[in-house]
Amino acid sequence: MSDALVDAEFVPARLLLVRHGESNTTVARVLGGPRTCTGLSPLGRRQAERLRDRIAEAGDLGGATVLYSSEYPRAVETAEIIAPALDLEVRTDERFGEHDPGPECDGLTFQEFVDRYGMPDWHGDPHGVRFPDGETLATFHHRVGEAVSDVVSSNPGGLIVVACHGGVVDAAFRHLLRLPQVGAFELHTVNTSLTEFVQIRRGRWRLARYNDAAHLAGLPPETPRENG
């Protein structure tokens, strides 16, 4: 029996995740949590502008119904740059923020973090502590999954665009495609790339595209970072 006959009133939604442009914290090689994020690097702004121009010229996101962003400055700035091409205002939702390292680690360089606490076991117990006073992986995944479920239920049948983070894209994969929270599953989501999921029936999603960053052609892959 076809899905249409099973649920004749179902109208599928599309969820488009935009990873923010390159951030100042990435260039400085620091853990850029919500307390220390200072927004996009000059290259990050160029990346977001390229995406804006692509959206305006190609029109493949025409009909987008809502534009969300995490509350991190790098995500808000990305959303604000692309918003004119979508003709939408930016709505912020803190639940789309990156995995929070907590106040003790926020702003540390990665090397400082490893020197103090050692290399985290990212594939271990999702309830285990990786950042002192920070979020566990399980809490982070629950937060992102709740946010995704809420925006989809609030925008039935819509094209929902979210400016967010690499970790959020990873968590969305695990949530929407029903994958385990930890394990041999690695993504390297490019700045301002597009990741799209399409609802095929209630509670079931299909990956339509991942890491679509054609608009970055000709740009350098990253800004030379501090300290080498």
Residue given tokens 């995944």 in the structure block: 141
Q: What is the average per-residue pLDDT within 212-226?
A: 92
Secondary structure letter of residue 7 according to DSSP: -
Q: What is the pLDDT of residues 125-159, one digit of tens each?
A: 999 889 999 999 999 999 999 999 999 999 999 99
Which domains, from first to last, does the chain contain? 9-216 (3.40.50.1240)
Residue given tokens 């968590």 in the structure block: 171
**How many Å apart are CA 28 and CA 108, to the nearest integer?**
10
Q: What is the pLDDT of residues 87-103, one digit of tens each?
A: 999 999 999 999 999 99
pTM across the whole model? 0.93
**How many Å apart are CA 10 and CA 80, to the nearest integer?**
32
Mean pLDDT of the chain: 92
Count, residues in the chain: 228
DSSP E strands in 42-193: the ranges are 66-69, 90-92, 159-164
Q: What is the pLDDT of residues 172-182, one digit of tens each?
A: 999 999 988 87
Q: Percent of the chain scored above 90 by pLDDT?
A: 80
